[in-house]
């Protein structure tokens, strides 16, 4: 509900969805993938994309999704070019943009920014990432990609990389708890899954196993979800390279992996996955990125119809 008491369908956090709603949205995305949708269903509708942080995939796939449904998109261009650079509050920006569009997609560096936007907006808001917080559209497309290869129920998923600041890992872990998945975490010291999140997931009955080395678990997992370790988390380049080299996925590492293992990555990758992996049947990250379009089409239809 916004400040004027109007009820709207926002998508802010994966935690706002129950399993039934997630499954319904993924089913819808599959129908869209099979071309079973009305190409003009959002004709005449306008989507505003407000990206206060860099983005390639998320922004382009939302714009592509909107175009494929017959609608159009507006954006502010770079952050430097918009009124926020003059000191305008996000609340004011949202009030103004609400008058120009039928829905708003927002990415912002502050956690909770999308929740604030939903309070002030007169149109539905979709969160496209708020700081280290939530990124629900990424989680939905991650789940969609897993479901293309296997049922999500009771699978073993390894999260590797920066699990402390990586919002995609947090959101995915929360969603997987609805499917009784077992989580394996492998992360450098200081970049572990936040203790509060781990405690919350365990409370929901999720089994979380921490590992020091990916080799300990590679033979047991169904999904390997790799995230980027950012250089700025380390005091100097030497310690960064030291750590990243031991978290790099190479073809040798995959010896003994399950046949149906899939490797996902929210992208962009830097050195975390050896390019030779791209040619192996395990690699699904480009497919995952492509899946952003049907999943976001389903999301846009959910909020705008």
Partner 1 sequence: MKKTENAENEGLLVRRIRNGTVIDHIDGGEALNVVKILGITGTTQEALSIATNVPSRNMGCKDIVKLTNRELSKEEVDRIALISPRATINIIRNFKVCEKKGVEIPTLIVGLVKCPNPGCISNTNEPIRSKFEVLPKGLHCTYCDWVITKDLTSHII
Using CB under 8 A, list all residues that contact partner 1.
13, 15, 89-91, 108-113, 115-116, 119, 130-134, 196
Q: Which is nearer to partner 1, 133 or 292 (CB)?
A: 133
Cβ 256 to partner 1 shortest distance, Å: 38
Cβ 206 to partner 1 shortest distance, Å: 16
Cβ 15 to partner 1 shortest distance, Å: 8
Instruction: Compute the residue count for the chain.
Output: 305
CA 79 from chain center: how many Å? 22
Q: Which is nearer to partner 1, 66 or 114 (CB)?
A: 114
Contact 168, 142 (CB under 8 A): yes
35: left (phi > 0), else alpha (psi -120 to 50), else beta? left
Q: Which is nearer to partner 1, 115 or 302 (CB)?
A: 115
Q: Which of 136, 1, 2, 121 is nearest to 50 (CA)?
A: 121
Q: Which is nearer to partner 1, 89 or 239 (CB)?
A: 89
Cβ 113 to partner 1 shortest distance, Å: 5
Q: Which is nearer to partner 1, 119 or 192 (CB)?
A: 119
Residue 283: count of CB within 10 angstroms of its CB: 19
Residues 6+ apart with CB under 8 A from 131: 108, 109, 110, 111, 113, 167
**C-alpha–C-alpha distance, residues 198 and 202, integer Å:** 6
Cβ 76 to partner 1 shortest distance, Å: 18
Contact 301, 13 (CB under 8 A): no
């Amino acid at each position: 509900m916004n400040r004027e008491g109007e009820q709207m369908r926002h998508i802010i956090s994966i935690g706002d969805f129950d399993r039934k709603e997630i499954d319904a949205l993924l089913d819808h995305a599959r129908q869209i993938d099979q071309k079973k949708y009305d190409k003009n269903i959002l004709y005449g509708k306008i989507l505003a994309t407000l990206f206060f942080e860099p983005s390639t995939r998320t922004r382009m796939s939302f714009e592509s999704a909107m175009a494929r449904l017959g609608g159009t998109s507006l954006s502010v261009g770079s952050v430097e070019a918009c009124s926020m650079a003059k000191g305008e509050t996000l609340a004011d920006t949202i009030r103004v943009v609400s008058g120009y569009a039928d829905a708003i997609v927002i990415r912002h560096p502050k956690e909770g920014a999308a929740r604030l936007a939903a309070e002030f907006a007169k149109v539905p808001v979709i969160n496209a990432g708020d700081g280290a917080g939530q990124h629900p559209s990424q989680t939905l497309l991650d789940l969609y990609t897993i479901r293309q290869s296997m049922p999500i129920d009771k699978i073993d998923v390894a999260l590797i990389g920066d699990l402390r600041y990586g919002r995609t890992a947090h959101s995915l872990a929360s969603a997987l708890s609805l499917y009784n998945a077992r989580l394996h975490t492998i992360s450098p010291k200081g970049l572990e899954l936040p203790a509060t999140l781990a405690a919350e997931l365990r409370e929901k009955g999720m089994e979380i196993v921490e590992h020091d080395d990916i080799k300990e678990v590679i033979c047991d997992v169904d999904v390997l979800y790799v995230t980027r370790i950012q250089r700025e988390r380390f005091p100097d380049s030497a310690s960064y390279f030291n750590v990243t080299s031991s978290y790099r996925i190479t073809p040798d590492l995959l010896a003994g992996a399950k046949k149906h293992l899939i490797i996902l990555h929210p992208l962009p990758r830097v050195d975390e996955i050896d390019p030779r992996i791209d040619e192996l049947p395990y690699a699904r990250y480009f497919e995952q990125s492509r899946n952003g379009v049907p999943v976001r089409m389903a999301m846009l239809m959910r909020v705008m119809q």
